[in-house]
Amino acid sequence: MTPQDQDEVESLALAIQSHYFQWRSINPIEPQLSQLSAEQAERLCGLVKPALFRSPTAEQFPVLPKHKREFLKRLILILEHSGMSEVDEVFYHEMAHPRPMERCYKSYFLQGQYLLSLVETEALVSRGTTGLQTWQAGVFLLSWLKDRQKSLWPDSRPSRVLELGSGVGYTGIGLLKLGLVQEMVLSDYHPDVLETLALNCRENVSESKGSKWSVESLDWTQFSESDVQALKPIDVIIAADVVFDPSLVPHLARTLGLLLRTTPVAYVACTPRNLDTLELFLSQIASQDLIWSESEISIPNPDHVKIYEMCAKLK
């Protein structure tokens, strides 16, 4: 096998690992897998077997059993068609006998390295909320903040960062795991989301390593100056995929208006699903005496996420 072939196999192994632990279909990488020679398929098996079944991520943060069966069934078929002599029996056993789990996790990787594992739901809407899944803008916002950290805060990392609409916690927990902030205040409102958010923080963040976090219930419809004071000083505000319900947009804008009286800047990431809702949000932001600008993006952005920087007008 040539060095180029080895690199290709290693890249596919990382892709398989990412798709498997994030409950994603194998379909997008199937064309590349179907082109593997028997020798390459053998090497691929040797790489993915310990990653999928014996790694700390696999042991501590099991995936959804339904996804595990479907993913491994398709992977086995692809490997069998490669012409390799025999697919390791471990793959068949893991497919046929997924262990029952009290909790199932999605595990995320950033630039090929393990980042975090989150309790999430399979359904987009569960228990009356969309907050029990990780959404595209939250994933992108973390990558963008990591890419821009030296220009956003060149002197030192922020002391306290508030996240609005944290959901299951991908962005805020990710900032802590990457060491980009000293303390995260993660917030949401739905009780099931808050419970899951706190669980995910406990599972992923070690306060013994100096990372601090708290989970707060914030109701934008009732948010007031007293809530701002209760939060204590905040250096940066972040939010992702929070602009989707037109009825909540004025309340979100008012909440940002109150917070940005004392906090220097907010970064809001939006996936532009409905342009009317996005335009409503930006007009409401302007009505709160806030200035906004669309931030520069220099990393891959397949979902066309927009990031808006906001601050209070100078008086």
Which amino acid, residue 267?
Answer: Y
* pLDDT averaged over every residue in the chain: 93
Question: Which of 16-25, 200-209, 229-238, 277-286 has the lowest average pLDDT?
Answer: 200-209
pLDDT in tens, 99-113: 777 899 999 999 889
**Does 155 have pLDDT greater than 60?**
yes
pLDDT band at 210 (very low <50, low <70, confident <90, very high): low
Rounded Cα distance between 170 and 267, Å, is 16
Confidence at residue 206, expressed as pLDDT on a 0 to 100 scale: 77
Confidence at residue 220, expressed as pLDDT on a 0 to 100 scale: 97
Which amino acid, residue 148?
Answer: R
pLDDT in tens, 22-44: 999 999 999 999 999 999 999 99
Long-range (24+ apart) CB contacts under 8 A made by 55-59 are 57/21, 57/107, 57/114, 57/117
Per the model's pLDDT, the better-predicted residue between 125 and 18 turns out to be 18
The predicted model scores a pTM of 0.93
Strands 306-312 and 265-270: antiparallel
pLDDT band at 306 (very low <50, low <70, confident <90, very high): very high
Q: What are phi and psi of 19, to 5 degrees?
A: -65, -40
Rounded Cα distance between 234 and 165, Å, is 16
Average confidence (pLDDT) over 84-89: 87
Secondary-structure percent of the chain, ordered helix, strand, coil, rounded to 5: 45, 15, 35
Strand, helix or coil for residue 43:
helix
* Cβ–Cβ under 8 Å, residues 132 and 121: yes
